[in-house]
A and B are shown apart, each in its own frame.
Chain A
Amino acid sequence: MSNIIIVGMADYKVGKMPDKLMTVGLGSCIGVCIYDLQLQIAGMAHIMLPSSKEITKGNPAKFADTCIEMMLGDLYKLGAVKARLKAKMAGGAQMFSFAGKAPFLKIGERNAQAVGDEIKKTGIPMLAFDVGGTFGRTIHFDIKSGDLNIRTINHGEKVI
């Protein structure tokens, strides 16, 4: 029986085959999955902000840098082998635009950049990503196949 493990905002979870990981309604946040296909384990994080260095207080799972570090730690505890790890991500949209005003912070774009950079630093390959746009995403990760399913309301569905 496969369970669906739901990852909330500013949270991460790890799971084993045959479970699936899911996070609902990513706007400017990023959903990032790191997985070991041979061991059939994976982690999914719902990251809200680029860096814990600009803001010192708060739950470390909401920042790209600290969250990825914690999630990797949990994956290693379960026996993940670094050389086998792969990553995929989705999210980082710009949901609202105000007439005549450029979005000054572009938080979605910055989040995608930061998660990409953090993954790069770890040396884990980012196999696929689907980021940007102006629409929300709900994502499911199949730990068995390594497929990341991305569903939107008005922009179709895809698997990366």
Chain B
Amino acid sequence: MRFEALKEIGNIGSGNAATSLSSMLQTRIDMSVPQVWLIPLEKINLAMGDLDQTRVALYLKVEGDASGKAMFVLSEYSAQLIAKKLLYLPELPDIFNDEMAQSALKEAGNIMVSSFVIALSTFSGIPLQLSTPALAIDMIGALLDAVLLEGGQIDDNVLIIDTKLSAAEELEGKFLFIPDGGALDKLLGVFGI
């Protein structure tokens, strides 16, 4: 029941985020049914796949009564493709060094996470705010541990609401929402659970 409610939260928020990505890129975006993981830290690879893969991650903190961490995770190629489309570039940019491309991705991440948060906030009636976006390109394991540890503490099990987004030209991304401990009860409270 709690998992179902969390999936619904993922659906509402990620659906809005996918719509905003779709309108930014002027392309159709498909969204998976959100998966809800409650997973011990040492098994986090089961949810995330090989932790060694290079990924581009946009990270924003969600602040307010239902605080948490939001991440938009892309393959290097998908990030290049999004930046190329947003900036009308003739070819794929070097995502490691091209600051314009990074800035465009941050903006896209900002808009997506904002859409997620607005949907969540409207639905739950809980006011939420966002931090500025941070971007990093590295091994997904390293990115994830930094996000998880950002508050300086961590539970043994992590709850992740995970939605896959995909589009033509092999564009693929993941939208993750990791609610903080106390946020979970607040969000579930909306469902009367």
Contact = CB atoms under 8 A, between A and B. Distances in A.
B145 interface: yes
A8 B42 contact: yes
A153 B145 CA distance: 16
Interface stretch (B9-17, B78-86, B128-136, B167-175): B128-136
B153 interface: yes
B43 A95 contact: no
Contact of B142 (A58, A98, A137): A137
B149 A49 contact: yes
B145 A28 contact: yes
Interface string A117-158: 000000000000000001111100000000000000110000
A48 B155 contact: no
Contact of A153 (B42, B54, B156): B54
Contacts of A10: 40-42, 156
Contacts of B104: none
Contact of B139 (A24, A54, A61): A24
A105 interface: yes
A95 B142 contact: yes
A153 B131 contact: no
Contacts of B155: 58
Interface of A: 8-11, 24-29, 48-49, 54-55, 58-59, 61-62, 93-101, 105, 107-108, 134-138, 153-154
Leading 6 A-B pairs by shortest Cβ distance: A25-B141, A136-B142, A8-B42, A27-B142, A95-B146, A25-B51
8 contacts: A9-B42, A10-B42, A28-B145, A58-B154, A59-B41, A62-B154, A98-B131, A138-B139
Given A96-B136, A105-B150, 12 more contacts: A10-B156, A25-B141, A27-B141, A27-B145, A48-B149, A49-B149, A58-B154, A58-B155, A95-B143, A96-B143, A99-B134, A107-B150
